[in-house]
């Protein structure tokens, strides 16, 4: 959603173009991946691809230092592995049968948890939205494209502080409704 790296420096136009193509390429590859395949190694592999060879994104490397993003402190480095394992377990338990709305909610929760955990140095939001898209598409649902940044970030902030998905789901369904127009 932004054009700054975690180092606070903007991505150059060339890097931005590379990131866009990397996302498109990753989406195409994700279509051939079953939702049951989600694990930490797959997330790391996707992060490498999404990083488009930009070394400052530290492709595929889990964080080894604490960070803040927005008003939120990321998961401590000692807990990243356990948090990812817990997320993957919840994901696998929540798989079919899913209705259209529960698919979108499941995908949005996985996305929000990935951002909350913030396992990588950079690109966590891009990866989380790609995973959300993949899960929606895997079950035949449209994926949200968040154009209302304020509503989206407000929903994420609420989730990060309270684990209440309600506001983020409002932003998600609003994004889906806008895409139908």
pLDDT, position 1? 46
pLDDT, position 2? 61
How far apart are alpha carbons 168 and 164 in whole angstroms? 8
pTM, full prediction? 0.92
For residue 102, being part of any structural domain is answered with: yes
For residue 44, being part of any structural domain is answered with: yes
* Predicted confidence (pLDDT) per residue in 102-111, tens digit: 999 999 999 9
Dihedrals phi, psi of 34, to nearest 5 degrees: -75, 145
**Which residue in 123, 110, 135 sits closest to 44, CA to CA?**
123
Residue position matching structure tokens 């993003």: 69
How far apart are alpha carbons 100 and 143 in whole angstroms? 11
For residue 28, being part of any structural domain is answered with: yes
For residue 129, being part of any structural domain is answered with: yes
How far apart are alpha carbons 98 and 8 in whole angstroms? 39
For residue 73, being part of any structural domain is answered with: yes
For residue 120, being part of any structural domain is answered with: yes
pLDDT, position 101? 87
| Total domains present in the chain | 1
Show the domain range for 103: 17-140
* Predicted confidence (pLDDT) per residue in 160-170, tens digit: 999 999 999 99
For residue 149, being part of any structural domain is answered with: no
* Predicted confidence (pLDDT) per residue in 146-159, tens digit: 999 999 999 999 99
DSSP 35: G
Q: What is the pLDDT of the chain when averaged over all its residues?
A: 91
Write out residues in the chain with pLDDT < 70, as ranges.
Answer: 1-2
How far apart are alpha carbons 141 and 75 in whole angstroms? 30
* Backbone φ/ψ region at 139: left (φ over 0), alpha (ψ -120 to 50), beta: alpha
For residue 114, being part of any structural domain is answered with: yes
- Domain at 98, CATH number: 1.10.3290.10
């Amino acid at each position: 959603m932004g054009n700054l790296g975690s180092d606070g420096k903007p991505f150059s136009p060339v890097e931005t173009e590379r990131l866009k193509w990397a996302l498109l390429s990753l989406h195409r590859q994700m279509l051939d991946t079953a939702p049951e395949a989600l694990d930490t190694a797959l997330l790391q592999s996707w992060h490498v691809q999404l990083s488009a060879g930009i070394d400052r994104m530290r492709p595929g490397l889990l964080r080894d230092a604490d960070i803040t993003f927005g008003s939120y402190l990321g998961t401590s480095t000692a807990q990243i592995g356990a948090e990812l394992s817990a997320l993957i377990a919840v994901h696998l338990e929540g798989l079919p049968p899913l209705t259209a709305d529960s698919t979108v909610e499941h995908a949005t929760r996985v996305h929000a948890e990935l951002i909350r955990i913030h396992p990588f140095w950079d690109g966590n939001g891009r990866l989380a939205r790609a995973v959300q898209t993949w899960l929606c598409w895997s079950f035949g649902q449209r994926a949200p494209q968040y154009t209302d940044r304020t509503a989206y970030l407000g929903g994420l902030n609420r989730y990060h502080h309270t684990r209440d998905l309600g506001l983020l789901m409002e932003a998600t369904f609003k994004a889906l409704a806008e895409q139908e127009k």
